[in-house]
Structures are given as structure tokens and as C-alpha cells.
Amino acid sequence: MKDERTVETERIDDLPVLIEWLKQMKVDAIIDDHTPAHRLWGGISKGVLGMTWIAHMLMTGDHRKVRLNEMLQRNRRSLGVLLGGEMRASEFNDDRLGRLLKDLGRGETAEAIEREMSAHCIRYYRLKTEQATVRIDTTSVAVHGDDDGSGVIAYGYSKDHRPDLRQFKVLMATLDPLGMPLLTQLVAGNSSDDGCYVPAYEEAITTTGTDIMVIGDSEMSALATRAHLHSGGSRYITPLAMVGKTKEDMEQ
């Protein structure tokens, strides 16, 4: 008699590489530290769940919960090997993902996770520099939809030349020479950029310390902002905004 064997093929693409890098960044452990699970939470931890979701988003560019669940059903054996346990069919269902998002979306929790992850990654790369360079900038994201009631999505000056759409703004501080994000903040779409730099600076120096060079666009050149950076013990590079008498003084 011939032995009959069934071969199951699962396409996992970049998942092993992405999950391994995220493990080295301690994404799963840091999420678990800041989002305690309920005693009835079973299966993989919130940290492993979040880490796998991030890997899936990086690989596919798709954040939808249903797509993650579909991926699990296609790759349960492979994921079990990668994540160190048998994958139940319910591991990535809407309810569990929704609870994780709610926990991660709390302001204080998100900031604490961001600080700890940034500090760990900076030590990991062992930056060799006499003075860290931090770049701070904002961008706007247009939204095809109504205000969600948070006050963040609103009409404002559109860099995308779409004043007909509501938007929100994303502020990011990155560390040179890696381009590694130190922090990201969501800002109301109708807010002015110049008021965002001081809070971003204060958050960034909790990770880097004050001995940094801050680089920003002309929105950062407001006198009060530059005075704040200087008084904090940091240096800055920014083009002066051509407003008031600045343009005339520059020509002279």
C-alpha cells in the first residue's frame, strides 16, 4: 500500500522577517506591559496580537481587521510556529482587535508605549553622535467623511489643495541619521502648525535629553518657539518666516 500524504501550502511572504524584527524591538513585550489583559483573555497576548497586526500592515498596507483575520485562517500553522503556540480560529476576531485598539488608543498609554519603545530602539542602535538631531514637521491628511465628534477632523488650510475636505494633521519628530520616529501626534485639522512645536519638543526630550539640534520649517521660527528651545538647552535650525519686517531686514 502507498502512503498518502497531504501537503498544505501557506504563503507567508515577509511575515517571519517582520515579526522577528518587531520582537527584537520588544513591541510585543512593551504593549503587554502597558495594556494588562482581563483574566478571561485567553490565547495569544495583546502584545503578540498587536505585533502581528503591525507586521501584517507593513506587509500589505491594509489596516482592516477583516483582512488580518483572513490571513490567520490562511496561515494558522505557520503563525503557530512563528508565535510559539497553536492559533485558534478566534485569535484575530473583531472583538479582540477592537479591545486592543481601545486600550492602545488611550492617550497616556500610547505616549508611554512610544517613549519606552523609542528609548529601547535608541539603545539598540547605539548612536554615535556628539549631539542628536531631531526633525519636527507636520502634514495634513484629507478625510472623505464627516466629523467624528472628537474635534480632530475639521476643515482647515489644506496642503493637498482640497479645501472641500475635512482633515486632521499628523505631527512627527524623527531622529537623525536613522529617520526613526520619536513621537507622532494627531492634531486638529484647523489648528495652526506653529503651536505644535513646543509640545512636540517637550515630548521628544523625555527620550533624547535636551542636548539636541532641532530642525524645523519656517512655522517653527516664531520667536516664542525659538526662545523656548534655547531656554531648554537645545539648538535649532529653521528658516525665518517672511512676515512682518523680516523680509525687509533680510534684503538689507
Q: CA 35, 119, 54, 9 torsion: positive or negative?
A: negative
pTM: 0.59
> What three-state secondary structure class fits 115?
helix
pLDDT of residue 125: 52
Co-location of 228 and 135 in the same domain: yes
Give 193's DSSP letter. Answer: G
Contact 156, 195 (CB under 8 A): no
What is the domain range of residue 59?
15-104
Radius of gyration of the chain (CA): 23
Co-location of 152 and 221 in the same domain: yes
Q: Would 10 be classed as within a structural domain? A: no
CA–CA gap between residue 26 and residue 31 (Å, rounded): 8
Co-location of 133 and 92 in the same domain: no
Co-location of 159 and 201 in the same domain: yes
CA–CA gap between residue 29 and residue 25 (Å, rounded): 9
Element (H, E) at 137: strand 132-143
pLDDT of residue 227: 93
Residues of the chain with pLDDT under 50: none
Structurally, the chain folds into a number of domains equal to 2
Co-location of 191 and 228 in the same domain: yes
What CATH number is given to the structural domain containing 208? 3.90.350.10
pLDDT of residue 1: 63
Q: Would 78 be classed as within a structural domain? A: yes
Co-location of 84 and 139 in the same domain: no
Q: Would 158 be classed as within a structural domain? A: yes
Tens of pLDDT, residues 233-251: 899 999 888 777 777 777 7
Q: Would 111 be classed as within a structural domain? A: no
In this structure, what C-alpha cell is assigned to residue 205? 526630550
In this structure, what C-alpha cell is assigned to residue 107? 492617550
176: left (phi over 0), alpha (psi -120 to 50) or beta: beta
